[in-house]
Each structure stands twice: as C-alpha cells, then as structure tokens.
Amino acid sequence: LRAAETLREQGFTGSLTMIGDEPYEPYDRPPLSKQALLGRARPEDTALPRRRDIDAEWCLGVAAESLDRAAKQVRLANGDTVPYDRLLITTGTRARPWFHPEEAALDGVFGLRTRDDSARLRRKLTGGVSRVLVIGAGFTGSEVASACRELGLQVTVAERGPAPLVGALGGVIGAVADRLQRKHGVDLRCGVSVTALEGDDVGRLRRAHLSDGSAIDVDVAVVSLGAMRNTEWLAGSGVAAGPRGIACDAGCRVFDVNGIVTDDIYAVGDVARSPHPLFDYQFLALEHWGNAVEQAEIAAHNMLCAGPDRRPHLWLPMFWSTQFGV
Ligand SMILES: Cc1cc2nc3c(=O)[nH]c(=O)nc-3n(C[C@H](O)[C@H](O)[C@H](O)COP(=O)(O)OP(=O)(O)OC[C@H]3O[C@@H](n4cnc5c(N)ncnc54)[C@H](O)[C@@H]3O)c2cc1C
C-alpha cells in the first residue's frame, strides 16, 4: 500500500494492480498481538489508513502462483495472468508452524500472523480457558504472554535460549526481559524446548511435554517460533529467492539466480534482504514495520526513475514492541 501510494504521489499515471492472497485490504499487524488480543481494537478495524487514493485494480483473495520473467507476467492461482512493466514483490512472511502436523491440528494450538489468527486466538483466550503455554519468547511470544497476563490467565513461556528476546536483543536486555516476565507472574522456563503436544480423545490440547522431562497441563498453546519467508511461489522463476528471502540491491532491485541485478523486479519488506553499508554490506532481512514502510517508498521512487536519481535503502534497523506495560 505504501509503495502504491508513493507511485501515485510521484506522478505515476499508468495502470496499477494490487495482488493479495488474503481477502482483506492491507491492514496493520502490530496490534494483532497487543490491542486486538486485549479487546481494545477489533482485528477487523486494523485496516491501514490511506494517505491518498491509489486508483488500483485489486485482486484480493487470490495468490500469485508463478512469475514468468521472459513474458513479464505473474500467474495467479485462479489461472489469470497479470502483465507488468515493473513488478514489486512484498509477499512477507508467515508464522513458522508447529513441526508435528497432527499435534498442530489439535484444538487449542494457535499461530499468530494474520487478522483471522488474532480473532481466533482472542475468542479462545476469552472463552473460559485458564492455562496457556507460549512456545518461544521472541517478540510475538512475549507480547502474547503479556496479553494473557493482562487477561488474568496463567501463562507458561517455554524458550530454548537463555532468556526472552535474546536472539534479537542479546543477553543484557534479555535479562531485563526475563525479570519483567517473572515480575508479571509468567511461569518462564528458559533453556528448554517443548518436545510434544498431547491431546485428549476428542482432539483437544491437554498437555505439553518439555525437554527437561516435565509436563504441564494446558488448554492453549501459542506457537511463536518466528517466521518463514513467502518465496516458494518464485521457484523456477530465475530470481534469487529462497528460505532466507529475496536478494536485492540497496535500491530494492531483485537479483537473478546468477547474481545479476534485474531492472524491472523489486522486492521490499519482510521478504527482502539487501546489503547494508553500516554492516559491511551484509545482506540484512529486517522483519519490522518501519523498515517495510520506508523500503516501499524507496522502491516506488526507484521504479519510476532512471539510474542516477535512484536512492538506496539505508535504514537504521529499529523497531518497537509493547510488553508488560513497557
Ligand atoms: C503479530 C505481529 C506483531 C507485530 N508487531 C510489530 C511491532 O510491534 N513492531 C514492528 O516494528 N513490527 C511488528 N511486526 C512486524 C510487521 O508487521 C511486519 O514487519 C510488516 O507487516 C511487514 O510488511 P510486509 O508488507 O513486508 O509483509 P506482510 O505484512 O507479511 O504482508 C505480506 C502479504 O502478502 C501476502 N502474500 C504472501 N504470499 C503471497 C502470494 N504468493 N500471492 C499473493 N499474496 C501473498 C500475505 O498473505 C500478506 O498479506 C509484527 C508482526 C506480527 C505478525
């Protein structure tokens, strides 16, 4: 949405097609693990504010299934094809599922990425459950644990690392997050993994088994094991896309599989990874809201202008989170 708005702001008058596999117009994800779980915002009220009219054709509820670079077209799951002069890929990430499909299918096991996930989880949390297990203490897991405590629920957080948020923020802030969770009544168990989820005979989650040999009775498990990049649909397209994201230059132009930069395909947001001069030109993938917005504006600008006027995406990595009143 931000890219589309920027294209129009910068004078693009041609045709613009927006493709999205969710049935909804673009919405905000950060409230889904915070205000929406607490009932302070409804998931259906999280539509992103519009800065301007984008005069686009919308193909919603239909996935892009493949990319044909030679023909310059995207094929959709319903068989339609959409031609392009410039393509911007912003397919983001999805929640990493629980590794055991039968256990993942138990009633009471949740992931959290979409508006529908958040609405389902809120219904469950406010429907008379008492004991919640959060698997993984990254940002989403820690925020869900915080919301559960605010809702008055007993919550256990199981984290394989030595402290919450340690992967993103390191040991010093991890120790602060550890104290914060315990102070707010979280049963925090670090250095352990959940090894199995057990259901009763009607398929409802009842118990979780941990790597230290313990087991806990739970009604709900929220799987918060990070994200997987939505790049599978690009298999065979010849662009440099894989589990680590889509490689692009600092101007958001996608590389092909030979490491040659394309000039008509761009990628931004959670799915993109690009070299950053501040970090020795390492390819960084940043899964944060502010990055997605700024990179989208840069890509839109670069999609419209010639070489010397292009701008690099040199964002200083930053994010926010709200947990336990902090
Ligand atoms: C619960 C939650 C809380 C968050 N909280 C914060 C926070 O507090 N602070 C912060 O900085 N960031 C936060 N984030 C991260 C932030 O929301 C993301 O960085 C941002 O949404 C990335 O935007 P995006 O457009 O790159 O991808 P997305 O928002 O993931 O959008 C990608 C869209 O593409 C669709 N799609 C995927 N594949 C296809 C396909 N083949 N065809 C068509 N459509 C497809 C997806 O369904 C999705 O709708 C949070 C994320 C979540 C899930």
Taking only the tens place, the pLDDT of each residue in 70-106 is 999 999 999 999 999 999 999 999 999 999 999 999 9
CA of 319 to the centre of ligand 1 (A): 14
| Torsion 233-235-237-240 (CA) sign | positive
| For ligand 1, atom 26: residue with the closest CA | 269
CA of 255 to the centre of ligand 1 (A): 22
Report the atom number in ligand 1 closest to the C-alpha of 63: 42
Confidence tier at 321 by pLDDT (50, 70, 90): very high
Q: Which of 76, 91, 165 is the best mutation target for the ligand 1 pocket, counting ligand atoms within 8 Å of the beta carbon and taking the most?
A: 91
Nearest to 148 by CA among 37, 40, 43, 224: 37
Instruction: State the pLDDT at residue 300.
Output: 98
User: Which residues, at least 6 apart from 1, have a Cβ–Cβ distance to it below 8 Å?
Assistant: 18, 25, 26, 48, 50, 54
For residue 98, give both structure tokens. Answer: 């629980």
- Ordered domains of the chain (ranges, CATH): 2-94+229-309 (3.50.50.60), 97-225 (3.50.50.60)
Report the atom number in ligand 1 closest to the C-alpha of 114: 53
Neighbour-count burial of 71, counting CB atoms closer than 10 A to its CB (0-12 exposed, 13-18 middle, 19+ buried): exposed
Q: Which amino acid is at 201?
A: D
Q: Does residue 277 register a pLDDT over 90?
A: no
**What is the pLDDT of the chain when averaged over all its residues?**
96
Report the atom number in ligand 1 closest to the C-alpha of 62: 43
Residue-wise pLDDT for 7-61, tens only, equals 999 999 999 999 999 999 999 999 999 999 999 998 889 999 999 999 999 999 9
Tell me how far apart the alpha carbons of residues 22 and 227 are, in angstroms, rounded to a whole number.
Answer: 17
Instruction: State the pLDDT at residue 306.
Output: 86
Residue-wise pLDDT for 210-260, tens only, equals 999 999 999 999 999 999 999 999 999 999 999 999 999 999 999 999 999
Q: Cα–Cα–Cα angle for 320, 323, 326, nearest 5°?
A: 80
| For ligand 1, atom 5: residue with the closest CA | 30
For residue 15, give both structure tokens. Answer: 């045709």
User: Which residues, at least 6 apart from 300, have a Cβ–Cβ distance to it below 8 Å?
Assistant: 2, 3, 4, 5, 6, 7, 10, 88
Distances (CA, A) of 103 to 100, 122, 124, 231: 5, 21, 18, 26
Q: Which of 28, 29, 298, 313 is the best mutation target for the ligand 1 pocket, counting ligand atoms within 8 Å of the beta carbon and taking the most?
A: 29
> Beta partners for 229?
93
Instruction: State the pLDDT at residue 139.
Output: 96
Tell me how far apart the alpha carbons of residues 237 and 299 are, in angstroms, rounded to a whole number.
Answer: 21
CA of 92 to the centre of ligand 1 (A): 5
Instruction: State the pLDDT at residue 315.
Output: 86
Instruction: State the pLDDT at residue 89.
Output: 98
Kindly report the backbone phi and psi dihedral angles of residue 215, in degrees, each rounded to the nearest multiple of 5, phi listed first. Answer: -140, 145
pLDDT mean over 164-185: 96
Residues with CB under 6 A from ligand 1: 19-22, 29-30, 32-33, 63-64, 90-93, 112-113, 140, 230, 233, 269-271, 287-290, 292, 319-321
Q: Going edge to edge, which strands form the sheet with 253-255?
A: 87-89, 261-267, 253-255
CA of 211 to the centre of ligand 1 (A): 31
Tell me how far apart the alpha carbons of residues 219 and 199 are, in angstroms, rounded to a whole number.
Answer: 10
